[in-house]
Each structure stands twice: as C-alpha cells, then as structure tokens.
Amino acid sequence: MSQGPVAALGTAAARGAARGRPGRGDTERGDTAVAGPRGAVRADLEQVFRTGYPAVVAVAARVLGSRDEAEDVAQEVFLSFARSAVPAAEAPGWLAVAAAHTALNHLRSGRRRAAREEAAADGHRPVPDVADDVLVREERSRVRAALARLPRRQAVALVLRHSGLSYADVAAALDLSPGSVGTTVRRAESALREELTRRAPVR
C-alpha cells in the first residue's frame, strides 16, 4: 500500500480526533467559538494549509480518482477549516476525515464526474487523464460507483486506511474501537471486490 503524504496525518489524527468534534454544536457555541471575531480568519490557517494540503489532496484523489477534482475538494475542506474552531493540533485528523467525506459527497452527487466525463467524450477536456483508454475509464467509473454505494463509515475507514493512516489513527478519527477498524475495512474491501466482480464487463 502506498503511504504517500497522508501517513504524516496519523499521529495527530489519533491524538485529536476522539476529543474534538468539529462541526458539533455550532448552535450553542455562538460566533466567537465558530470563527473568532466577526470576519476574522484564523491566524494559523496558512501554516496548517501548507502542511496539510498535499495529504488532503491525496485522500480526496483516492476517492475521486482524479487529481483536478481532488484539488477542488481540498479547497472546500480548507474553507470549512478556515471557518472552524478546530485546534491546530487536531487539524490533521479533522482534515483527513473531512477530505474523505467531502470527496464522497462529490461522488454521491455524481454531477461533477458526469460533467467531466461528458466533456472528455466531447473532446473538450483540456488535459486528458493518462487513462484515456475507454475500458480503463469504465473500470474507474465502476470503482467510484461501488465506493459511493458503501455505507459511509466503511467508505471513510477504507479510504483513510488506504491513504496510509494506521489502525489506531483511523479508530481515533472515526470514534471506532481499534479492534473494529480491521472488521470495518475488511467488510468494505469485500463489498468493493464483490461489486467490481459482479459488474465487470465480459471481455
């Protein structure tokens, strides 16, 4: 399994995720806890961004299979982070989970993917992916569709694990017991393989 830049997210994910629940309680926190003084941007944003951006893109790219889309997702993730009160120490774990969720949301909508594939079919795509071959494209499409059909928790655990987070990190990030991470990931892989086998075209 390729570890990539995401492995660096691990320790912080384990440290921060179980305690921090970003997004929770916007209703009760009031303005100051959500985004500081009105209109202010958190001071640590640039530092967190520069450290975490490659990892966030990598997580999203595993879900979406496309770097361009992954960069769009990373922008959304950091925009949410900029408006949040997530402690900097907990940022890596928060960012990894947010990247997986946001990318899965994109998959679920399917609109961007459909639009991009349509553009590719029309020959208007400015920078064609390496996988120009139709069969490869179909297979990629099947993988994404199968991923979108997985229960959300399984899908996130799967993506985080395959992005290089350790079992302990994934457990902390998703509030799972360490023992159940393997079970969750195994179920997800089994379901994904079945889907891919069942829907594979006859060649």
Closest separation in Å from C-beta 15 to another protein: 13
Q: Mention every residue, 6+ apart, whose C-beta is less than 8 A from residue 72.
A: 106, 112
Specify whether the CB–CB gap between 12 and 90 falls below 8 A.
yes
Residues 160-179 touching another protein, rule: CB under 8 A, are 162, 166-168, 173-175, 178-179
Choice between 15 and 140, CB closer to another protein: 140
Closest separation in Å from C-beta 140 to another protein: 6
14 binds another protein (CB under 8 A): no
Burial class for 22, CB neighbours closer than 10 Å (0-12, 13-18, 19+): buried
48 binds another protein (CB under 8 A): no
The span from the CA of 115 to the CA of 120, in Å, is 9
Specify whether the CB–CB gap between 94 and 11 falls below 8 A.
no
Closest separation in Å from C-beta 182 to another protein: 3
Residues 84-143 touching another protein, rule: CB under 8 A, are 84, 86, 93-94, 97-98, 101-102, 105-106, 108-112, 129-131, 136, 140, 143
Among positions 9, 12, 78, 92, the unique one binding another protein when judged by CB under 8 A: 78
The span from the CA of 47 to the CA of 49, in Å, is 5
